[in-house]
Amino acid sequence: MSPSVAALRQGGVEAARRLAGRRRAAVTLAGAALAVAGANGAWATFAFGYPGKMSLAGFPGGARAYVLVLVVPGLAVLTRWPGRRAAAMAGSLGVVVVAAGNLVAIAKQGGGLGAVAAGAWLAVAGGGLLLIGAVAAPDDEAPTLAERTLPPAVEAAVVAASLGVVLALVWYGLGVEESSRFASFAAAVAFWASALAGLGVIGWLQALYPRHRTVTLAASALAAAAFPFTQGGEAQWIRVFASIGIFATAAIGLNVVVGLAGLLDLGYIAFFGVGAYVAALTAGAGTTTSHVVLPYGVAIVLGAVTASIFGVVIGAPTLRLRGDYLAIVTLAFGEIFRIAVNNWNSVTRGPNGISRIPDLALGHFNLGQPHRILGVELPGFANYYFLVLVLMAFVITAFTRLNDSRIGRAWVAIREDEVAAAAMGVNTVRLKLLAFAIGAFLAGAAGTVDAHFGRQVSPESYSFLQSVTLLAAVVLGGMGTVPGALIGSTLLLLIPEKLRAFQDPRLLIFGLALILMMRLRPEGFAPSRRRQRELHAEGEGADALSAPPGGPR
């Protein structure tokens, strides 16, 4: 931030602070009243290409409702709760962002500011007043909620309910069709979440989950399994979430390599590709040149094992190198894989790839067919979705158990200080190879599912960009954790799917989002306890580390 902007902001805060207590409350209340009035008034003066002819009272329905929802945290500043100022800032900023965003969208659609009706202006102004009221409030005490405990049964219920809310939000959000309306919805959720974080509710929940692990796991599994039943037989989002699951499985594998062992792998997608090609070549695909047909149970193991053999072959000579060299070698390996597959016509059919891969059949159960489960007709993709859930359950179990074992500790030790780890009896080369092999194994397994799920494999699906996207998912979500990889994968795959308008500048937006994340929340959305302390413990730890080496001589 440039000094002049900082000075401006400082000046704004000081100006707002001159409001005395009574007047501050009045400003907030006036803002809330304006925003509510605006949300209930007309926002646009055009309809269906007839600008100026009529006012559209109900348009845009969602955005106006979200403004109302966001006024609530904006009022937090009238309470005495610790964290009220942060919550009110989030709420009022949310009102401004949603109202102003829609105002711009309406003006663009209706051909100028003339298309904007009074309601939208009122809502923006109301948001502005709320913001002034929030800025004027005295500084927050830190939220005290995090240490609060309730009876265990109540806590368990809260845990389950919070995961239910997540499912409900996902279900509702997927139903929001239009891009700008979805953007408003996403903004409303994000600002509400940050308001709750300001009040310490999120921190409290984060402390609850580990205390009620069984309930958390059961409720997440239930919510995940319940998802296809909320889709009314529609395949679209089930398909998207199945592919997110496959991606997330690979991301968790990459998290072993990058997040735990600290090895930067830039060609990780190649292992995924190895698995996919093994499955494609052994599935009796319509266009294959190999005529081997293996049952899927064998193919998934074969794909995963082949990938991990590749991992060991790549790793054995390179893992003795330091980080930067490893990154270059893995990057090259990813490209070699893609180019080799692209040119090895006799086996991989080159750039055509292998298509018409049959649907998976486990015994007599064909995963491509719709099935009726619990009286609900589920499309074929739901079967893949459930298969991916099972695979993920395995991968998550393996990851968390490895992390909390002798092997996981050794990995983290290598990441922290390789020389010291070796001096403590850790065979660093062997453990790095193991991390590489396990990461490749998980990617290979995910690849075999993807070959059947996508029904075709071709070289360009395994480009450098895919490796980078996986890495971005891991970094964005939080290195070294399962929820991090899940959240990162979901965001990176779902948002382009929902915001079709942002399909083309997707990479630009990735880049911006990553920069913003590194600036605002470098530990990712769901950081490990370890990493969160690492990145926010400046000051406390600094003096201990910079103490003078050597005393009396």
Partner 1 sequence: MNAAPDPVLQARSVSKRFGGLVAVSSVDLDVGEAEIVGLIGPNGAGKTTFFNCLTGMEVPTSGEIRYRGRPLPGSPDRITAAGLARTFQNIRLFPNMSVLENVLVGRHCRMHEGLGSAIGRGRRFHREEAEARRRAAALLDLVGLRRAADDLARNLNYGDQRRLEIARALATDPGLLLLDEPTAGMNAAETRATGDLVRRIRDQGLAVVVIEHDMRFIFGLCDRVTVLVQGQKLTEGTPADVQSDPRVIAAYLGTPTGR
CB of 476 to partner 1, least distance (A): 20
Q: Which of 49, 151, 210, 549 binds partner 1 (CB under 8 A)?
A: 549
Number of shown-chain residues binding partner 1 (CB under 8 A): 42
With respect to partner 1, which residue has the nearer C-beta, 315 or 408?
408
Task: List b or e across 269-303, with b for residues whose CB sees 16 or more CB atoms inside 10 angstroms.
Answer: bbbbbbbbbbbbbbbebeebeeeeebebeebbbbb
CB of 406 to partner 1, least distance (A): 5
CB of 319 to partner 1, least distance (A): 14
For residue 378, list its beta bridge partners. Answer: 371
Query: How far, in whole angstroms, is CA 1 from its chain's centroid?
Result: 27
With respect to partner 1, which residue has the nearer C-beta, 375 or 550?
550
With respect to partner 1, which residue has the nearer C-beta, 108 or 430?
430
Q: How many residues does the chain have?
A: 553
CB of 548 to partner 1, least distance (A): 6
CB of 151 to partner 1, least distance (A): 26
What CA–CA distance (Å, rounded) separates 405 from 62?
Answer: 48
Cis peptide before 60 (omega within 30 of 0): yes
What CA–CA distance (Å, rounded) separates 539 from 534?
Answer: 11
What CA–CA distance (Å, rounded) separates 551 from 553?
Answer: 6
With respect to partner 1, which residue has the nearer C-beta, 63 or 252?
252
What CA–CA distance (Å, rounded) separates 309 from 437?
Answer: 7
With respect to partner 1, which residue has the nearer C-beta, 206 or 400?
400
Q: Long-range contacts for 55-62 (Cβ within 8 Å, ≥24 apart)?
A: 55/117, 56/117, 60/102, 60/105, 60/106, 60/180, 60/181, 60/184, 61/181, 62/176, 62/181, 62/184, 62/185
User: Would you call 45 helix, strand, or coil by DSSP?
Assistant: coil
Options 112-120, 135-143, 231-239, 540-548: segment touching partner 1 (CB under 8 A): 540-548
Binding mask 11-50 for partner 1 (x = CB under 8 A): ----------------------------------------
Binding mask 428-467 for partner 1 (x = CB under 8 A): x-----x---x-----------------------------
DSSP 12-42: HHHHHHTS-HHHHHHHHHHHHHHHHHHHHS-
User: Rule CB under 8 A: is residue 232 a binding residue for partner 1?
Assistant: no
Task: List b or e across 204-241, with b for residues whose CB sees 16 or more CB atoms inside 10 angstroms.
Answer: bbbbbbeebeebbeebbeebbeebbebbeeebebbbbb
User: Rule CB under 8 A: is residue 511 a binding residue for partner 1?
Assistant: no
User: Rule CB under 8 A: is residue 545 a binding residue for partner 1?
Assistant: yes
With respect to partner 1, which residue has the nearer C-beta, 154 or 420?
420
With respect to partner 1, which residue has the nearer C-beta, 403 or 469?
403
User: Rule CB under 8 A: is residue 259 a binding residue for partner 1?
Assistant: no
What CA–CA distance (Å, rounded) separates 300 from 447?
Answer: 9
CB of 400 to partner 1, least distance (A): 10
Interface of this chain with partner 1, residues 409 to 428, rule: CB under 8 A = 409-410, 412-413, 416-417, 419-428
Interface of this chain with partner 1, residues 393 to 412, rule: CB under 8 A = 397-398, 401-402, 405-410, 412
Binding mask 516-535 for partner 1 (x = CB under 8 A): --------------xx-xx-
Beta-carbon contacts of residue 58 (< 8 Å; ≥ 6 apart): none
Q: Site residues (CB under 8 A) for partner 1?
A: 397-398, 401-402, 405-410, 412-413, 416-417, 419-428, 434, 438, 530-531, 533-534, 537, 540-541, 544-545, 547-553
